[in-house]
Amino acid sequence: MSALAAPSPDPVEPTDAVPVAVDGLPAAPPVDPAAEAAALEAAEREAQLARLMQRMQKTADFPALKDSIRGIQKISRSDTAHLRALSDEVLGDVGLTNKLLRLINTAFYSSVGGGSITSIKRAIALMGFQSIGMLAASLALFEKLPKGPDGARVQAEFRRALLAGMLASEMCPGFKHQELAYLSALFQNLGTMLGWMHFKDEATEIEAKLVELRAAAAAEEAEAGATGAALDAHPDPLHATVQQTAREVLGIGYEDLGVEVARQWGWPEDLQLALRRLHPRDPELPAGSDERLRVACTAANLLAAKLEALHDPDEIAACLAGFLPAWGVPLGLDEAMLGGMVERARSEWIEMATLLGLQLPNAAPAKGGKGPAMKTTAKPGSTGNGPELIKPRATASAAAGAAGAPAPRPAPPKVAVPAAVGQALGRALEAVSELAMSDAPLAAVLQALMTQVQQALQLQRIVVCLREPASGDLVGRIGLGDRASALAPQFRIALNPPNCLFGLLCAKNADTLISDAGDPVIAQRLPAWFARQVQAPTFLLLPLKLGDKPLGLIYGDRARPHTLQVGDAELTQLKAMRNQLIMAMRMRGAAA
């Protein structure tokens, strides 16, 4: 061997493959088996989703439903759309128009003109863009549900979702949040409904597998001695199993299917995200503002599944007692509040379901035929609805109770509210709504609201307070009636912290009627400026609040005690007017 010859290399132990550059090209990155498997799974999922969407597109009803809901939602969520745009969109579907008008004219909507609304334009003016968009979207889906025995299963899903929507809107107080919560909870089970509408064979197979799994889970609970009555820290243990079973059969989970369809309908990302269930991170801590909507909609769907077949008050009370440990603190609910919410939601649900022709499972009507009889431990003066701690037509006793004072002298019997008051408020609501959705300046909307409400309730004066950015106080800005312009600047209501009855009620967002301000218990808690300058013996307070942010206050009074009467129907109209004002403020940038 030549001395110059290179020695033979030593044997090299095997190692992991090392990328080698070839012909000057960069080395290929190492292959990650896990990432490769995940990419393959994602590709298969997308392919299966495309196949499912193609099957749905072949169903005659689906493209029409998609276009209808997409158009309605796009317009109803717009800050700049006008009455004609949304009314034209709804009127494009004759069946939807007739069903929507029929729904609006039920007793449930009588306070905003139900029974006399003959056009979609008037309905939008009375109820607002968001409300009509919400109802139209749910009705558009309902109209496409299969009828007869073949559609029984999907109609049952829709019926339960309808109750969930009602419950979620109660759990999310605030004009904007209520509407979004209703839609989100209603459509959280959209994928399941679509499965039964378009893939019945696969849905039947999924259901059969789930029945077996539920039976096994029930047997395990029984063996462990669990009662199954409580919704514990893992209140939806089979949800992941449902999604996994759907993926095994359909190739995609029901939840993913619903979100994808919502995306194709043009729903915004925040609403798409709300369609995914979310449980509280900690049942001992309040849900964060960024997750509260999803948590509330998840809770509403779970509670609806438990409640829909119950009608005995004791059974309902037991169900709610089991619900509270996991959801009470995260959603800020107590026993009294939850009882009131459920009672109202079930009443609305029964009326709407009856109108739509949905078969209710053993639901017994409550007093007056409006809903199921229920036990509730709601305290006197409590609406049970979020921050509204005082009944809208609260007497001096209720208001004093909210302020932590002993009960004052009894109030005299209530006088029936004349029918003319409701009629006048109905006309006022329509006028204010149309102006709020026009291009009129905010000052014109405020002036119209004050004029209309003063005339309808025959008030001595009315004053509107708005939040002062520097101090956070509510300050009187504009007034109408006896000395109202001169007295308006005297109104100054501190909220941080509240230091009088006005501030407390505004901070709590409590719509309140004080029948007799001369009652000693009430008088000692009134602001000093009120006692010195205003001295009204009876007055109404309607706070203006957007979410958690106070915006102002509508105040109205009369010259004699116990002469101002506001019933439930009148209050609903006043609230609707107040909501139109808040919407006008938001549209005009005054709610920042």
The CATH code of the domain that includes 223 is 1.10.3210
* Residues 245 and 210: beta-carbon distance below 8 Å: yes
352 and 473 belong to one structural domain = no
Task: Identify the CATH number of the domain in which residue 500 sits.
Answer: 3.30.450.40
User: How distant is the alpha carbon of residue 57 from its chain centre?
Assistant: 30
The set of residues, in sequence order, having a beta carbon less than 8 Å from that of 88 and lying 6+ positions away, is none
Task: Look at the chain and report how many structural domains it folds into.
Answer: 3
Out of 86, 114, 144, a domain closes at: 144
361 and 498 belong to one structural domain = no
458 and 511 belong to one structural domain = yes
Owning domain of residue 494:
396-408+417-587
460 and 357 belong to one structural domain = no
pLDDT of residue 531: 92
361 and 214 belong to one structural domain = yes
559 and 427 belong to one structural domain = yes
493: in domain: yes
pLDDT of residue 53: 73
311: in domain: yes
The set of residues, in sequence order, having a beta carbon less than 8 Å from that of 496 and lying 6+ positions away, is 472
17: in domain: no
33: in domain: no
81 and 174 belong to one structural domain = no
3-state secondary structure 213-272: HHHHHHHHHHHHCCCCCCCCCCCCCCHHHHHHHHHHHHCCCHHHHHHHHHHHCCCCHHHH
437 and 546 belong to one structural domain = yes
DSSP, collapsed to helix, strand or coil, labels residue 401 as helix
- Crossing angle of helices 254-264 and 33-57, in 10° steps, is 60
32: in domain: no
291 and 403 belong to one structural domain = no
- Using alpha carbons, select from 96, 53, 130, 93 the residue that is nearest to residue 586: 130
138 and 207 belong to one structural domain = no
* Residues 181 and 168: beta-carbon distance below 8 Å: yes
Single pTM value for the model: 0.54
From residue 99, how far is each of 67, 103, 136, 140 by CA, in Å? Answer: 18, 6, 9, 9
383: in domain: no
Over its length of 592 residues, how does the chain's per-residue pLDDT go in tens digits?
A: 444 444 444 444 444 444 555 555 555 566 677 777 777 767 777 777 777 777 776 665 554 455 555 555 555 555 455 555 655 655 555 666 666 776 666 544 555 554 556 666 666 666 666 566 666 766 766 766 777 666 788 888 888 988 998 899 888 865 456 667 887 888 888 888 888 888 888 888 998 888 888 787 777 767 765 444 433 334 455 678 888 888 888 888 899 888 888 887 777 787 788 889 999 888 898 888 888 889 999 999 999 999 988 888 899 999 999 999 999 999 988 888 898 889 888 887 887 777 677 777 754 443 333 333 323 223 323 333 322 323 333 333 344 444 444 444 444 445 567 888 888 887 888 788 778 767 889 999 999 999 999 999 999 999 999 999 999 999 999 999 999 999 999 999 999 889 899 999 998 888 899 999 998 889 999 999 999 999 999 999 999 987 678 999 999 999 999 999 888 778 877 887 887 788 788 778 776 6
Out of 110, 144, 178, a domain closes at: 144
3: in domain: no
110 and 151 belong to one structural domain = no
- Using alpha carbons, select from 388, 384, 387 the residue that is nearest to residue 167: 384
11: in domain: no
